[in-house]
Amino acid sequence: MSDMIPSRRQFLGTTSALAAAAALSSRTYAADSNTIRIGLVGCGGRGSGAIGNALDADPHLQVVAVGDVFEHKVAAAADRFTKMDPKRVDLPLDKRFVGLDAYKNVIDNVDVVLLATPPGFRPLHIEYAVKQGKHVFAEKPVATDPVGVRRVLAACKEAEKKNLTVVSGLCYRYDAGKQDTIKRLHDGAIGDIRVVSSKYWSGTPWFRDAQPGWSGMQKQLNNWYFYVWLCGDQIAEQAVHSIDKCAWLMKDESPERVVASGGRAVRTDEKFAQIWDNMSVTYEYADGRLVHLGCRQWDGNGIYHTVEDRVIGAKGWANAQSHDIYPDGAEKWSWRRDKDDPRARNMYVEEHVQMYKAIRSNTTINNGSYMCNSTLMGIAGRMSAYAGKALKWEDVVNSKHDLTPADMSIDGPGSTMGVPVPGKYDIG
């Protein structure tokens, strides 16, 4: 494995050493009642959910800044949050920021920033937050190309040095059922894990029409799901949750080779811009282990939707998504919540519980390693499928493939890429 994406143990090993060291960040929160100022970049569905989760997680937070590229999104979010909790939300007009640079103003005003824009912007936003010495909650995925992943990994290493917490929105890692089931599997409940076969079969999450007079860039920011530089395609944006479970089951070791295919079978209208609607990927490990991931977004009468992860071990099998384990020759084990379990019932809240607990106790959480590894696995699957090539992991890790449009101005055309065609799509 390249040291560009170090194993979780390597990366977090240094984190705990640093966590024990004196705090380097400018503010400390030793008392539970000290106010932590939080802000949001990207005032859409998930960002709004994350603000609610944060307020549920810690009674002494204050929401002090919000930003979005569209003014109406900022205004609606500020109203929504104020109604949620008028005492803990303080968003006067001069703390509502609009535009592609809004992230800077939000980050400058807070202790903790929640990053929930389309993932194409995550490297830029994480880099700036860490540079400014702020703690980060970063929604998944954390980039849409290998260049972006490397930027995030470098920023997370910098965060370690600064004793900053970085929590990932790969929320299953904070789910009690997944934690207990995967621990049991790692402890040998079905022997060595050989194969994980995972499906993320869903429908199109949404489609947003453009307003008259908008530039190409504005149209793409509004309807970001269908543009690869912003979204990463379904495999990186949505199925990354499943990839992350597979990677976790494989102890966050990186694969050796990635082989994928896919296309547009149902969502063929040109209004759906660049992304595909199905992919099938195998991640091959050096020791013969295998992850298979199938993802698709098909809508229509009777189309089967499912999210599942079947784990095949040397001595039995499991379904990690439903928390069921079937050891050979022994009784089935199914996870049930213990009534005294201190973990939040909602994994989205638990992410924030752990985050503010770490900040208040002056320790750190740094999810950088696995969030970069799982994001890159999604990107690697997409690159292999689009190009029609088998890719060595090392080549993906070091790839110069960069989807950022040449013109990043709000009045510019955005990305001019067409629908990727295998054999013609250039991954460098």
Ligand X SMILES: NC(=O)c1ccc[n+]([C@@H]2O[C@H](COP(=O)([O-])OP(=O)(O)OC[C@H]3O[C@@H](n4cnc5c(N)ncnc54)[C@H](O)[C@@H]3O)[C@@H](O)[C@H]2O)c1
Q: Give the strand pairing for 166-168 and 135-138.
A: parallel
- Name the residue whose CB lies closest to ligand X: 44
Q: What is the rounded end-to-end Cα distance, in angstroms, of the chain?
A: 21
Q: How far apart are CA 225 and CA 222, in angstroms?
A: 9
Least CB distance to ligand X at residue 71 (A)? 10
Q: Which range touches ligand X (CB under 6 A), out of 44-52, 273-281, 329-337, 420-428?
A: 44-52
**Strand order in 257-263's β-sheet?**
333-334, 324-327, 316-319, 306-313, 193-202, 290-297, 278-284, 257-263, 391-392
Binding flag, residue 221, ligand X (CB under 6 A): yes
Residues 6+ away with beta carbon under 8 Å from 131? 158
Binding flag, residue 237, ligand X (CB under 6 A): yes
Binding flag, residue 420, ligand X (CB under 6 A): no
C-alpha torsion sign, points 348, 226, 379, 192: positive
Binding flag, residue 277, ligand X (CB under 6 A): no
Find the binding residues for ligand X in span 148-187 (CB under 6 A). Answer: 169, 171
Q: Which range touches ligand X (CB under 6 A), out of 9-17, 43-51, 381-389, 391-399?
A: 43-51
Binding flag, residue 140, ligand X (CB under 6 A): yes
Interface pattern 92-121 for ligand X (x via CB under 6 A): --------x-xx------------xxxx-x
Which of 111, 139, 175, 252 is the binder for ligand X (CB under 6 A)?
139
Q: How far apart are CA 124 and CA 138, in angstroms?
A: 12
Binding flag, residue 312, ligand X (CB under 6 A): no
Least CB distance to ligand X at residue 375 (A)? 10
CA neighbor of 364 nearest in space, from 22, 34, 116, 31:
22
Q: Pick between residue 162 and residue 241 the one whose CB is nearest to ligand X.
A: 241
Binding flag, residue 51, ligand X (CB under 6 A): no
Interface pattern 57-96 for ligand X (x via CB under 6 A): ----------xxxx--x-----------------------
Q: Pick between residue 145 and residue 160 the one whose CB is nearest to ligand X.
A: 145
Strand partners of residue 196 = 291, 311
Binding flag, residue 145, ligand X (CB under 6 A): no
Q: Pick between residue 6 and residue 169 the one whose CB is nearest to ligand X.
A: 169
Q: Pick between residue 169 and residue 255 the one whose CB is nearest to ligand X.
A: 169
Amino acid present at 76: A
Contacting residues toward ligand X, per CB under 6 A: 41-47, 67-70, 73, 100, 102-103, 116-119, 121, 139-140, 169, 171, 221, 237
